[in-house]
Each structure stands twice: as structure tokens, then as C-alpha cells.
Amino acid sequence: MFNNSTRTEEKTFIGIYDFSYAPYALGDVITWQMNLCVKAGESGNRNIVQYIIADPLRPSSYLQRYIMEDNYIEYLNNLFPAFLCCPNTVSINFVKDKDIFDLFLLKKIFKDQPSWPSIMGHLSGKLDFISHKAINKFFQKYNCIPRLTSPKGYENSMDSFLKKRCRDRYIVTVNMRQRRLYPSPDEVNIAINRDSPLAEWYKFFKIVKDKHPDVVFLILGGYSTWERELYHHKNVIIPRTIGFGLSHELTLLHKSDLFIGTSSGFSAMATFSKIPYIITNFDYAASRYIGLPVGTPKYPFGMEHQILSWERESAELLLSLFESVYESIRKT
């Protein structure tokens, strides 16, 4: 349990993430946390208490049947740092017995305890973990949104690495979606059309190495999302090969000068951050969930140099998008 306050019972807002109906997915956890932030803000800027429910008898939903009692802890451990990025969180609690937790929630109903999802929604197994409806509504009302941060406790964890390996460099964090390389059998045929064309990215890295030698690319993502070819690029560093994990990668993203990546888990973190980003090959099907027509160049709450690109990547397109931000920032 993470606890950042001794007074978590006062003016608290409850966040519930129950893996029996919510997915083990970085992007969905990040979007859930953003929805949690805006829902809490609407209720009066309350402190957030998170409850993460991982019951070994019901460790996953029908969407991820390969996550079972004997392996769910590994998935939970790998994903946990994503729950640390909501700045108003004062407490994180793990729950293994879903039935006992639901009885605990029934008591909260009589106290009008605000939560996301609603307590009745949770008891019905319903959670909008994908859409931006509440986020867009919050922005329309207040002309701003809360922003997610580096995982709590890791804010300065990468300072030594950056000083040693990236001093005086223009740091670009990168995530190239490669679902076809995932080891889980159920994942093999899911939306592989959204995968990044790696050959085009390799060409892009080579061009930037010659044109902009001050740039260094930090590749984010597990071992299943990149190939050994990346070792041959002198301007590329792969943090996972040095022993770093998701918490360090999310911290690096927040400390980078620019993020570039396919619309996937890491791009969700960039979306709700303050750093410049270019989200590439944006999924057309996602337009209905984020409330934007296909081709929209930025989110309504997007800041300067936060760009959406709906085209499939090519080396030329990547270079054009990159240089538009790189040169603009360099001039300021």
C-alpha cells in the first residue's frame, strides 16, 4: 500500500480499478487516472484514494483470458507504476477479496461517497476506461485539465542516468507499437494494422543522426516491442537493456524534450502531460472515443507542440513532424 497522508478519510474521492472487468493495459490505466483526476476535481479537488482489485479467483476479464490465477501477479507488478502518476493520490490500496471489498463499498453508499466509477457502476462491473467524455467536458467548463506526472517516488530516479548518458543532448522518448511481437497468444491478431513500420523508423533514426547529432532517442517499451536492429543505431538508447522498468520509462518521458510514438499506452501518458509530443499513426477507430473527427491535428486541451498525426509513418513524415517541433523549440 502506498500512503502519502495520515488524513485520507477527510474529503476523499475513491478510485476503483477492478481487473475482473478492467484491462491490464497501460493506456487504459493512464486514461482511467486522468478521468479520476477530473472527476475528483469536479467533486471539489478532493484527495484521491485508489483501490486496485486483483482477486485471484477473478484475476481478469473475458478480454484477457490468458491472465489467470498463476500469472496475474506478474502482469500487476509490471503495470503498477502507471497507478502512481495521479498527483492528487494520497493512498493506494490492494484488494484480493472482491466480495469483501464490495460489502465495504455498500457502507459508503449511505455516506454519499463520491467515486470513479460510481459505486453502483462498479458493483455492476461497468467502467468507461477508454473515452475522453469526462475529460473533454471538464476542459470545456474550465479551459484546462489536470496533468499527470512522473510516478510518485521516481521523480528524480533518472537524473544520474540523464546526466551521464544524455548531457547536453536533445532527448526524444520513442515508443513504436509492435503488437505482432507480443508473446501472449490472444494478442497476436489484435489490431496489428496499428503497428509501426519499423524500417521507416530505422531510416528516420539514421537521417536524424546525420542532420542533428545532438539528438538522442530513448526507446520505451518492453522487450517485445523492439528488435535487435536498434542496437546498431548510435543515437538510440534502450533503457530496458540497462535494467530499467516502466516506472523509469514514465519518468524519462516526463523529463524528455519530446515524445514521439504510435497511439498506444505511452502516448496516453504523453497526451495528459505537459511535454511536447507527436502521436503518429493515430487510430481512426479511436476518434469516436476521444470525441474528435479523424484528421484533427490536436486535442482541444492540447498544449503548444502537442501534435496528432493520423497518417501511417514514413521516414519523410517522421522527419517533417520532428523538425517542425525541434526547430521551433530550438528557436525559443
Question: Does residue 27 have a pLDDT over 90?
Answer: yes
Is residue 250 within 8 Å of residue 151, measured between CB atoms? yes
pLDDT for res 216? 98
Q: In which order are the strands placed within the sheet that holds 12-18? A: 2-3, 89-95, 47-53, 12-18, 115-116
Confidence of residue 193 (pLDDT cuts 50, 70, 90): low
pLDDT for res 20? 96
Share of the chain above pLDDT 70, in %: 91
Question: Does residue 330 have a pLDDT over 90?
Answer: no
Tens of pLDDT, residue by residue over 34-93, are 999 999 999 986 799 999 999 999 999 998 999 999 999 999 999 999 999 999 999 999
pLDDT for res 182? 60
What is the C-alpha end-to-end distance of the chain, expressed in Å?
43
Question: Does residue 191 have a pLDDT over 60?
Answer: no
Distance of CA 262 to the CA centre of its chain: 12
Is residue 220 within 8 Å of residue 253, measured between CB atoms? yes
Q: What is the mean pLDDT of the chain?
A: 90
pLDDT for res 188? 46
Is residue 250 exposed (0-12), middle (13-18) or buried (19+ Cβ within 10 Å)?
A: buried
The C-alpha cell that represents 302 in the structure block: 492540447
Half-sphere exposure of 319 (CA within 13 A, CB side): 15
Residue (of 28, 10, 78, 69) closest to 269 by Cα position: 28
Is residue 116 within 8 Å of residue 15, measured between CB atoms? yes
The C-alpha cell that represents 282 in the structure block: 493515430
Confidence of residue 5 (pLDDT cuts 50, 70, 90): very low
The C-alpha cell that represents 99 in the structure block: 466480495
Tens of pLDDT, residue by residue over 283-311, are 898 999 999 999 999 999 999 999 999 99
Q: Which amino acid is at 127?
A: L
Per-residue pLDDT averaged across 11-38, rounded?
A: 95
pLDDT for res 184? 56
pLDDT for res 179? 65
Q: Which amino acid is at 287?
A: S
Tens of pLDDT, residue by residue over 215-247, are 999 999 988 777 888 889 999 999 999 999 999
Share of the chain above pLDDT 90, in %: 77
Residue 319: Cβ within 10 Å count: 17
DSSP state of 55: B
0.85 exceeded by pTM: yes
Q: How many residues does the chain have?
A: 332
HEC assignment per residue over 234-301: CCEECHHHHCCCHHHHHHHHHHCCEEEEECCHHHHHHHCCCCCEEEECCCHHHHHHHCCCCCCCCCCC
pLDDT for res 8? 44
Tens of pLDDT, residue by residue over 253-288, are 999 999 999 988 999 999 999 999 999 999 898 999
For residue 253, the surrounding DSSP H or E stretch is helix 246-255
**Which domains are seen in the chain, by residue range?**
2-142 (no CATH), 159-331 (3.40.50.2000)
Distance of CA 240 to the CA centre of its chain: 17
pLDDT for res 112? 80
Tens of pLDDT, residue by residue over 85-98, are 999 999 999 999 99
DSSP state of 157: T
